[in-house]
Amino acid sequence: MLCDVCKCNDATVFLTQILEGKMQKVNLCDACSKEKGVQDPTGFALADLLLGIGAAEEIEKGASTQKCPVCGFSQADFKKTGRLGCSACYITFAEGLNTLLKAMHKGTEHVGKFPQHAHRAMELNNRMRALTENLQKAVAAENYETAASLRDQIKQLESDLAS
């Protein structure tokens, strides 16, 4: 079996980590295991190591030649650095990243703090959806007076969203 890091030497160190019932395996050769600090229990975390190996492969599965439309980052860049290019990369490479995040973290969905603007945007979006629905209903019912008022409200909301 070849080493997962250098892919040329035979693996001699086999690591298995079970965290919260999820199993992760990594095979390493002697030189790579030393380089990655595997033999030093104080400095070693499998998640960090996986970033360099599994991550790039996971991302490859998701998108083969894709580049992030916002920052131009590609999967090859991720393979090199283990870091992403910008926040939009999380959407571009979502498929591969999801598998990676699942292996790395306790859950798959954020449950902690959120910025107030995100909260406001969510509320505004919900209101917009309701207004649009009502507008369609009013138009279908040929209730033009209501429709006009709804249209004005939507316009107001659009300018709020833009600001």
Partner 1 sequence: MKFSNVMATAGEWLRGEGPHHQIVVSSRVRLARNLRNRPFPGWAKKAERTSILDLVRPRVEELTEMQDSFSEGLQELSALERQVLVERHLISREHAAKGVGSAVVMNRRQTLSIMINEEDHLRMQSIRSGLQLKQAFKLVDKIDSALESKLEFAYDPRLGYLTACPTNVGTGMRASAMLHLPGLVLSELINQVIQAVSKIGLAVRGLYGEGTEAMGNLFQISNQTTLGEKEDEIINRLSKVIETIIEKEHDARQVLLQKKSNTLWDQIGRAYGVLTYAHAMASKEALNLLSIIKLGVDLGAFPEDRRLPIDELFIDIQPAHLQKSSQQKLNAEERDHLRAQIIRERLKLFPKPDISKMARESGNGSIAQDLK
Residues of this chain that interact with partner 1 (CB under 8 A) are 19-20, 37, 41-43, 45, 47-48, 51, 55, 70-71, 73, 77, 81-88, 90, 97, 100-101, 104-118, 122
Alpha-carbon distance values, 36 to 13, 30, 42, 46, 146 (Å) = 12, 10, 12, 10, 67
**Spatial contact of 2 and 10, defined as CB atoms under 8 Å apart:** yes
Our CB check for partner 1 shows the closer of 1 and 41 to be 41
CA–CA distance, 13 with 10 (Å, rounded to integer): 9
Residue given tokens 């406001």 in the structure block:
120
Q: How far is the CB of 116 from partner 1 (least distance, A)?
A: 6
Our CB check for partner 1 shows the closer of 25 and 137 to be 25
Q: How far is the CB of 107 from partner 1 (least distance, A)?
A: 2
Q: How far is the CB of 41 from partner 1 (least distance, A)?
A: 5
Our CB check for partner 1 shows the closer of 87 and 136 to be 87
CA–CA distance, 55 with 51 (Å, rounded to integer): 5
